[in-house]
């Protein structure tokens, strides 16, 4: 009897400790902000890499440049030269230093030029250069879209008609929770939907297509952890 009571007290203490840790974890939000002002002109931020999907030719040139119109400071990260002529190439600059599953991603962007394509946007849950989610605005087509890219092939998930002035700064934001996503331009929610293609956390980054020369600033990533369920926690305790 005394041994059973001792085990019951021990289990109660362990359950209490687990719930304390879970409560703490549930509110442990990770915020990362890149404003690129501490990166030298001509470089990309430390831990970032330049890649491409469906590349035919040389890798595009991404680098930090000076821009006195930037939302903050005077440094921005930009895709400045495509170095290729294939319209199906997606130009990527991304990092896996952040493991993003759920939360928010926001960036300021300015579409500068492009004959075949313009504008760009953000990538998330990036598994590699051929597998990720992407949200982008294209001023040539006057649309805002969310896609997934799987094994290099792009599929439209949601699309909205919208017109924004080029060569001016705008903000794009994505909210992701589980399979559900929302897309915002300049603070207005224009897209929402659900997709089960990528279930794992992944990297984050910036994206343009073809010859779209675009500048980006104030890239913020807010990772919100998923709270562990009570049932799974108690099941783990029961196995100890």
| Residue 3 main-chain phi, psi, to 5 deg | -65, -40
Question: Would residue 77 count as lying in a domain?
Answer: yes
Question: Would residue 64 count as lying in a domain?
Answer: yes
Q: Which domain holds residue 72?
A: 29-223
Q: What pLDDT does 85 receive? A: 95
Query: Which tokens belong to 69?
Result: 């119109």
Query: Which tokens belong to 59?
Result: 């890798």
Distance, in Å, from the CA atom of 74 to the CA atom of 95, rounded to the nearest integer, reads 22
224 sits in the region (left: phi over 0; alpha: psi -120 to 50; else beta) called beta
- Nearest Cα neighbor of 208 from 71, 56, 72, 94 is 94
Q: What pLDDT does 227 receive? A: 78
Question: Would residue 9 count as lying in a domain?
Answer: no
Distance, in Å, from the CA atom of 192 to the CA atom of 97, rounded to the nearest integer, reads 27
The residue with tokens 């020369």 is 213
Question: Would residue 20 count as lying in a domain?
Answer: no
Question: Would residue 4 count as lying in a domain?
Answer: no
Q: What pLDDT does 54 receive? A: 98
Residue ranges of the chain with pLDDT lower than 70? 1-27, 228-240
Question: Would residue 16 count as lying in a domain?
Answer: no
Q: What pLDDT does 28 receive? A: 75
Q: What pLDDT does 226 receive? A: 85
CA 208 to chain centre: 14
Distance, in Å, from the CA atom of 90 to the CA atom of 214, rounded to the nearest integer, reads 13
Question: Would residue 10 count as lying in a domain?
Answer: no
CATH code for the domain of 156: 2.60.120.560
Q: What pLDDT does 177 receive? A: 98
Q: What pLDDT does 134 receive? A: 98
Q: What pLDDT does 29 receive? A: 84
Q: What pLDDT does 239 receive? A: 47
Cut 0.75: pTM above it: yes
Question: Would residue 228 count as lying in a domain?
Answer: no
How many separate domains does the chain show?
A: 1
């Amino acid at each position: 009897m005394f041994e059973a009571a001792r085990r019951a007290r021990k289990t109660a203490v362990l359950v209490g400790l687990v719930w304390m840790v879970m409560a703490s974890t549930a509110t442990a939000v990770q915020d990362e902000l890149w404003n690129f002002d501490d990166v030298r002109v001509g470089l990309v931020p430390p831990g970032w890499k330049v890649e491409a999907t469906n590349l035919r030719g040389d890798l595009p040139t991404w680098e930090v440049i000076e821009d006195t119109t930037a939302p903050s400071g005077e440094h921005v990260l930009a895709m400045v030269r495509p170095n290729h002529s294939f319209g199906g190439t997606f130009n990527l600059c991304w990092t896996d230093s952040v493991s993003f599953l759920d939360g928010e991603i926001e960036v300021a962007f300015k579409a500068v030029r492009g004959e075949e394509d313009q504008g760009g946007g953000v990538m998330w849950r990036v598994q590699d250069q051929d597998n990720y989610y992407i949200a982008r605005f294209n001023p040539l087509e006057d649309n805002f879209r969310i896609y997934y890219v799987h094994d290099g092939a792009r599929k439209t998930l949601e699309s909205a008609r919208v017109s924004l002035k080029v060569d001016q700064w705008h903000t794009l934001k994505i909210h992701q929770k589980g399979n559900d996503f929302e897309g915002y331009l300049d603070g207005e929610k224009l897209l929402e939907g659900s997709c089960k293609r990528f279930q794992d956390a992944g990297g984050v980054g910036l994206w343009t297509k073809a010859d779209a020369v675009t500048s980006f600033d104030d890239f913020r990533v807010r990772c919100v952890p998923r709270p562990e369920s009570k049932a799974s926690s108690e099941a783990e305790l029961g196995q100890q």
